[in-house]
């Protein structure tokens, strides 16, 4: 990508404390800041970190991240070219049981789950701050959670993936109510599926590959 002054975006401690406080009532663990430069032209918005991410504090550093890096290759992008974040920055979990392979005993463990709307509202100030500060020229939403966080519940990735949209995005209306309002600014958004979706539905692979070709073409034409 073109030369930029490298300065990492640091989320203010006060904001992190506020969001952690707003998240206390929920089954959320850890906190993974978004990763990338303040002047990044491209922002990727996923769903929420998983177990790997909350341990090493790098977004998309687990299995889904490996897939994301392969898709980004198609668009000739690297981690350094983008700001990577998610609708929720803590890991939403649920308890479940699993048989211990050695002992055969049932053990309780935490499993990833999709964040709820209330959790998305609780953590909204972080993504609002990231968008407001980075002012990305292109936002790529990864999956329905990221897409609906920014555009609203009526949007769906299956019908919109790979399209270039120009839209206002949603931000929290006030810290005292769970309601979004639209930003004054318009943003360019290309929705695609969450990279982990291919673990459950292999048929999505060529669709995601085509989306990243479209992302690569957009970047080459407008952002290089
Ligand atoms: N999925 C996400 O949406 N974000 C991560 O950081 C990891 C997996």
Domains in the chain: boundaries: 13-223
Distance from Cα 59 to the centre of ligand 1, integer Å: 6
Average pLDDT (145-161) is 98
Tens-digit pLDDT profile for residues 34-67: 999 999 999 999 999 999 999 999 999 999 999 9
Distance from Cα 165 to the centre of ligand 1, integer Å: 23
34 within 8 A of 133, measured Cβ to Cβ: no
Ligand 1 atom, smallest distance to 87 CA: 3
Distance from Cα 58 to the centre of ligand 1, integer Å: 9
123 within 8 A of 132, measured Cβ to Cβ: no
Distance from Cα 180 to the centre of ligand 1, integer Å: 22
* End-to-end Cα distance, the chain: 6
154 within 8 A of 53, measured Cβ to Cβ: no
Which DSSP symbol is given to 59? T
Strands 91-99 and 82-86: unpaired
Amino acid 1: pLDDT: 58
Tens-digit pLDDT profile for residues 171-215: 999 999 999 999 999 999 999 999 999 999 999 999 999 999 999
Of 4-13, 70-79, 159-168, 215-224, the one with minimum mean pLDDT is 4-13
49 lines ligand 1 (CB under 6 A): yes
Q: What percent of the chain has pLDDT over 90?
A: 96
Of 14-23, 76-85, 97-106, the one with minimum mean pLDDT is 97-106
Distance from Cα 102 to the centre of ligand 1, integer Å: 30
Amino acid 147: pLDDT: 99
Which secondary-structure segment (H or E) carries 98? strand 91-99
Residue linked to tokens 């203010």: 12
47 lines ligand 1 (CB under 6 A): yes
Amino acid 6: pLDDT: 84
Which DSSP symbol is given to 27? S
Q: What angle do CA 152, 191, 58 make, to 5 degrees?
A: 95
Amino acid 5: pLDDT: 64
195 lines ligand 1 (CB under 6 A): no
Distance from Cα 49 to the centre of ligand 1, integer Å: 4
86 lines ligand 1 (CB under 6 A): yes
Indicate the fold that domain 13-223 takes in CATH: Uracil-DNA Glycosylase, subunit E (3.40.470)
Amino acid 224: pLDDT: 86
Backbone angles phi, psi at 79, to 5 degrees: -55, -35
Which DSSP symbol is given to 136? -
Q: How confident is the model at residue 29 (pLDDT cuts 50, 70, 90)?
A: very high
Ligand 1 atom, smallest distance to 142 CA: 3
Question: Chain-wide mean pLDDT for the chain?
Answer: 96
Tens-digit pLDDT profile for residues 86-105: 999 999 999 999 999 889 99
Burial class (CB in 10 A: 0-12, 13-18, 19+), 209: middle
Amino acid 2: pLDDT: 53
Q: How confident is the model at residue 82 (pLDDT cuts 50, 70, 90)?
A: very high
């Amino acid at each position: 990508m073109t030369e930029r002054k490298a300065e990492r975006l640091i989320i203010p401690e006060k904001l992190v404390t506020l969001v952690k406080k707003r998240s206390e009532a929920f089954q959320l663990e850890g906190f993974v800041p978004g990763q990338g430069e303040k002047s990044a032209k491209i922002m990727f918005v996923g769903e929420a970190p998983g177990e790997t991410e909350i341990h090493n504090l790098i977004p998309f550093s687990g299995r889904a991240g490996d897939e994301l890096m392969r898709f980004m290759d198609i668009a000739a992008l690297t981690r350094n070219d983008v700001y990577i974040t998610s609708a929720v920055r803590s890991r939403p979990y649920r308890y479940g049981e699993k048989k211990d392979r050695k002992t055969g005993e049932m053990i309780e463990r935490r499993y990833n789950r999709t964040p709820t709307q209330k959790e998305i509202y609780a953590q909204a100030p972080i993504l609002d701050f990231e968008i407001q500060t980075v002012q990305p020229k292109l936002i790529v939403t990864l999956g329905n959670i990221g897409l609906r966080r920014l555009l609203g519940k009526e949007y769906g990735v299956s019908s919109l993936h790979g399209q270039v949209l120009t839209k206002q995005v949603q931000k929290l209306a006030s810290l005292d109510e769970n309601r979004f309002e639209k930003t004054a600014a318009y943003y360019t958004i290309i929705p695609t599926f969450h990279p982990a979706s291919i673990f459950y539905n292999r048929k999505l692979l060529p669709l995601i590959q085509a989306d990243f070709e479209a992302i690569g073409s957009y970047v080459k034409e407008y952002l290089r």
